[in-house]
Structure 1
Amino acid sequence: MSSTNINNVIAVVPVKDHQNAVEWYMKLLGRDADLIPVDEVAEWQLADNAWIQVGTDAERAGYTTVIIGVNDIDVQRSFCAKAGVSVGEVVEIPEAIKMAETVDPDGNKVVFVQDISGTV
């Protein structure tokens, strides 16, 4: 990849019921939000320069997909099951990825993806 001026990524997830969504994402991610920058916005740092932000925006709620890379899809599914978050079956694209998805209370998709290509 060529060098760019980009240094971080924030995935924004719009929701209708902020409190309900924050509670769900706390279960999904296994912890409280790392940052509450303003009312009705919560942020979790997922990696060095990668964040997920959950904020109230009723008009846009339910239309977002967030893809989260994981080291082991089965470990992630097990973690989610223990937290009470239902995750779908693993879909494999041979020699590329394994993925499984869940849906938040507003209908936004969260897709966990494990790279199995051997190139990473």
Structure 2
Amino acid sequence: MSIDLFAGIYVRDYEAAKAWYVRVLGAEPAFYPNDTEAVWEIAEHRYLYIRVNPEHAGHAVQTILVDDLDARVGGIAERGIEPANREAYPNGVRKVMYHDPDGNEIGFGGMPE
């Protein structure tokens, strides 16, 4: 079974949001469907996109599981963004959360070693 994913995040200021997501994701968008959207391919057939929609901005919660959470968090820090919060669960799973300029939460999670 093949699974594709498009996870969307509403933002107020397109340029500010795009710049922030470039720093968090470490790459320029993969493509631009139109003047109010930018799309990043975060893994094969899995995309995260921003879209201008001021009335709904700031309410998204997304979590992306990565193989090396420490490396991901370190790379984001090198690009000038620090986490808003960190959590560790009893089963060893960890999550690091960031908030974009609108307050949307983007989390990165890591499984126990």
- Structure 2 gap segments, 5+ residues each: none
Deviations 1:70-119 (A, max 9, x none): 11221111111100111145321132511110000010000101122x7x
Q: Bigger radius of gyration, 1 or 2?
A: 1
Runs of 4+ in 1 over 4 A off after TM superposition: none
Higher share in strand: 2
Farther off after superposition, 89-98 or 21-30: 89-98
TM-score with structure 1 length normalisation?
Answer: 0.87
Gaps of 5+ in 1: none
Q: Which moved more, 1:84-93 or 1:37-46?
A: 84-93
Distance 1:65 1:89 in 2: 13
TM-score using structure 2 length: 0.92
Identity of aligned residues (%): 26
Q: Indicate whether 1:58 and 2:54 are aligned.
A: yes
Aligned to 1:76: 72
1:85 is matched with which residue: 74, 81, 84?
81
2:84–2:99 contact (8 Å) kept in structure 1: no
